[in-house]
């Protein structure tokens, strides 16, 4: 999916066929009114807006005929001053709901170039459908080619370029994640990422099973050993000429999570091709950071395996050794994300980066705790604070959970250095995931301090949207928090 052409025009000229003109509707002393708009609306003067179903609710949209065979789209803009997120979400729902038109002309009054840019950003993010697997039945066809915002506040070319890069990287994530496990397996994910990175200034290395064994990556190998399609590690590097900060990103890349021998029930297994979202997200963010030439060094580690039950699969009570030398008793093969990330975090730590952020669809518990729109955020306070601010910049939601110390002893193992779960425990599942991961950051397993600022994002509940599209979020893979990672690179770089 390519983004629509973004055009700003200082004034309204005339109505054209195949074009839809977006008119804001607000409320004034309890009456629906057409808000200030640069578009000619005299032909609407006699329409009783309420009687044709017009509403001021944000994102509500009603179409009416306009002069010259054109169309009006009356769009609710509420009764409060619009925030930047509102412009982004309005841009998205306008583009999505009007994607059957060739041209959309937006008459929302914007007060500065940032608000104009937010409409474009929303449109580029909202205009996504997953059509690839439709056969005889046709999916929604997107005809929209251009979005024109009438405003005297024109974003600079660099701002428009940034929007395009961000939308491309979010849509890359969505495409990778929406691909079923039949087609998306460790080697195909590694190759797809390598192809996407080509020509962007990001270098890639793909480590096969032999190399994984040579490097001592017992977590990734252990999880991957039950599948006929072997595990991989992908290392992405972006090294600009000047940079003061080194950011390491680590992503969980389980291309399908059956649970392994601790098999998931059928209903919970549905959607488990989303379990590589962390890896796809950190890859897409790294590529975006390179395309934007941000002055920050980024190394991304994608920990990729397919978690299958078979005669070669790892068993409950098996003990594996992670890259940092720590032994892990695998009590539940379905808590596999933390096993592959153990290796990724250890590897990432070796270069002593300033920050490590890992991204993973780690626990079902995060949905119980936070619902479907906030990602769980844990880690060192400095890194957590930076991620919080970045998420705000991006208009994405995160919520910090404590790394509650008293829960750590639950994952002591009788026979190894640590266990991957506490069987039968239901308290603080997301936090225990965070406490486990922390052991593999820097020198923490040895009880020594390090200068790495680490944050963990549990995106298990935000990676996929089971419901209808809303704002910039489509159905299916959302690409959530990719823009947060890019915003983080901008802040700390």
Contacts of 62 (CB under 8 A, 6+ apart): 52, 53, 54, 55, 73, 74
206, 345, 167, 465: CA torsion to nearest 10? 110
Long-range contacts of the stretch 174-177 (C-beta < 8 A, 24+): 174/128, 174/130, 174/474, 174/476, 174/477, 174/478, 174/479, 175/130, 175/132, 175/477, 176/276, 176/280, 176/284, 176/477, 177/273, 177/274, 177/276, 177/277, 177/280, 177/463, 177/464, 177/476, 177/477, 177/479
The answer to whether residue 239 is catalytic is: no
In the structure encoding, which two tokens stand for residue 229, read together?
Answer: 């399609």
Distance in Å, CB of 454 to ligand BES, minimum = 20
Stretch that binds ligand BES, among 84-92, 157-165, 335-343, 401-409 (CB under 6 A): 335-343
At a CB cut-off of 8 Å and minimum separation 6, what does 131 contact?
139, 140, 141
Distance, in Å, from the CA atom of 48 to the CA atom of 441, rounded to the nearest integer, reads 63
363 binds ligand BES per the rule CB under 6 A = yes
Residues 300, 248: Cα–Cα separation, whole Å: 6
Active site residue 134: no
Under the criterion CB under 6 A, does residue 329 sit at the interface with ligand BES? no
Nearest residue to ligand BES, using CB?
364
Q: Which of 364, 369, 393, 400 binds ligand BES (CB under 6 A)?
A: 364
For 212, the 3-state DSSP assignment is helix
Phi, psi (5° rounding) for residue 440? -105, 5
Burial grade of 123 (CB within 10 A; 0-12, 13-18, 19 or more): buried
Cα angle for residues 92, 95, 98 (degrees, 5° grid): 140
Residue 5 to residue 269: CA distance in whole angstroms: 39
The answer to the question of residue 59 lying near ligand BES (CB under 6 A) is no
> Do 277 and 463 form a contact (C-beta atoms < 8 A)?
yes
Nearer to Zn ion, 275 or 329 (CB): 275
336 binds ligand BES (CB under 6 A): yes
Q: Among 96, 232, 297, 338, which one carries the catalytic annotation? A: 338
CB 356 within 8 A of CB 348: yes
Contact 104, 97 (CB under 8 A): no
* Catalytic residue of the set 114, 264, 373, 388: 264
Contact 264, 258 (CB under 8 A): yes
Among 91, 219, 231, 337, binds ligand BES (CB under 6 A): 337
Please tell me whether residue 361 binds ligand BES under the rule CB under 6 A.
yes
> Cβ of residue 471: shortest distance to ligand BES, in angstroms?
21
Q: How far is the CB of 27 from ligand BES (least distance, A)?
A: 40
Binder of ligand BES out of 59, 121, 168, 257 (CB under 6 A): 257
- Which is closer to ligand BES, CB of 84 or CB of 410? 410
Residue from 460, 469, 482, 492 binding ligand BES (CB under 6 A): 460
Which residues sit at the interface with Zn ion, rule CB under 5 A? 254, 257, 275, 334, 336-337
In three-state secondary structure terms, 461 is coil
Tokens for 99, please give them. Answer: 């994607």
Considering CB distances under 5 to 8 angstroms, the limit depending on partner class, which of Zn ion, ligand BES, none binds residue 363?
Answer: ligand BES
Judged by beta carbon distances under 5 to 8 A according to partner kind, the member of ligand BES, Zn ion, none in contact with residue 121 is none
Residues 316, 334: Cα–Cα separation, whole Å:
10
CB-nearer residue toward ligand BES: 296 or 460: 460
Closest CB 401 distance from Zn ion, rounded Å: 18
* Contact flag: residue 334 with ligand BES (CB under 6 A): yes
String marking each residue 396-435 x if it binds ligand BES according to CB under 6 A: -------------------------x-------x------
CB 363 to ligand BES: min, Å: 4
CB nearer to ligand BES: give 365 or 407. Answer: 365
Contact with ligand BES (CB under 6 A) among 121, 162, 275, 380: 275
Continuous segment of H or E residues that includes residue 290? helix 277-291
Stretch of residues binding ligand BES (CB under 6 A), selected from 82-90, 205-213, 357-365, 369-377? 357-365
Cβ closest to ligand BES, residue 275 vs residue 343: 275
Catalytic residues: 264, 338
Per CB under 6 A, residues contacting ligand BES are 257, 275, 332, 334-337, 361, 363-365, 421, 429, 460
């Amino acid at each position: 999916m390519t983004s629509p052409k973004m055009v700003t025009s200082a004034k309204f000229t005339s109505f054209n066929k195949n074009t839809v003109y977006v008119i804001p509707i607000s409320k004034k002393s309890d009456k629906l009114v057409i808000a200030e708009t640069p578009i000619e609306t005299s032909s609407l003067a006699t329409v009783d807006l309420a009687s044709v179903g017009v509403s001021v609710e944000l994102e509500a949209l009603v179409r009416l005929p306009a002069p010259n065979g054109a169309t009006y789209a009356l769009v609710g803009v509420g009764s409060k001053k619009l925030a930047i997120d509102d412009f982004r979400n309005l841009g998205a729902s306008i583009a999505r709901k009007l994607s059957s038109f060739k041209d959309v002309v937006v008459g929302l009054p914007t007060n500065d170039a940032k608000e104009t840019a937010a409409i474009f950003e929303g449109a580029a993010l909202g205009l996504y459908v997953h059509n690839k697997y439709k056969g005889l039945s046709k999916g929604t066809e997107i005809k929209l080619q251009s979005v024109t915002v009438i405003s005297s506040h024109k974003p600079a070319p660099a701002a428009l370029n940034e929007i395009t890069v961000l939308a491309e990287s979010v849509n890359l994530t969505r495409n990778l994640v929406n691909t079923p496990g039949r087609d998306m397996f460790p080697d195909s994910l590694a190759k797809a990422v390598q192809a996407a990175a080509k020509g962007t200034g990001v270098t890639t290395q793909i480590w096969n099973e032999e190399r994984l064994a040579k490097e001592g990556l017992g977590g990734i190998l252990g999880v991957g050993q039950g599948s006929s399609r072997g595990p991989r590690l992908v290392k992405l590097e972006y090294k600009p000429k000047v940079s003061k900060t080194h950011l390491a990103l680590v992503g969980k890349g389980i291309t399908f999570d059956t649970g392994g021998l601790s098999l998931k029930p059928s209903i919970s297994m549905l959607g488990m091709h989303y379990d590589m979202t962390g890896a796809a997200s950190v890859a897409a963010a790294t590529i975006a950071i390179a395309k934007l030439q941000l002055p920050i060094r980024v190394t991304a580690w994608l920990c990729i395996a397919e978690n299958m039950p078979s005669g070669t699969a790892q068993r409950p009570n098996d003990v594996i050794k992670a890259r940092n030398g720590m032994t892990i008793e695998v009590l539940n093969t379905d808590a596999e994300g933390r096993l592959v990330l153990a290796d990724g975090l250890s590897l990432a730590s070796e270069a002593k980066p300033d920050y490590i952020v890992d991204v993973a669809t780690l626990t079902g518990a995060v949905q119980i705790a936070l619902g479907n729109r906030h990602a769980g955020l844990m880690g060192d306070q400095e890194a957590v604070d930076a991620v919080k601010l970045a998420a705000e910049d991006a208009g994405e939601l995160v919520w910090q959970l404590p790394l509650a110390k008293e829960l750590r002893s639950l994952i002591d193992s009788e026979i190894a250095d640590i266990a991957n779960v506490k069987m039968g425990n239901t308290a603080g599942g997301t936090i225990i995931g965070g406490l486990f991961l922390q052991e593999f950051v820097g020198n923490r397993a040895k009880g020594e301090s390090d200068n790495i600022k680490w944050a963990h994002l549990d995106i298990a509940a935000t990676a996929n949207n089971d419901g209808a599209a809303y704002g910039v979020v489509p159905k299916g893979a959302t690409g959530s928090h990719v823009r947060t990672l890019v915003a983080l690179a901008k802040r700390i770089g």
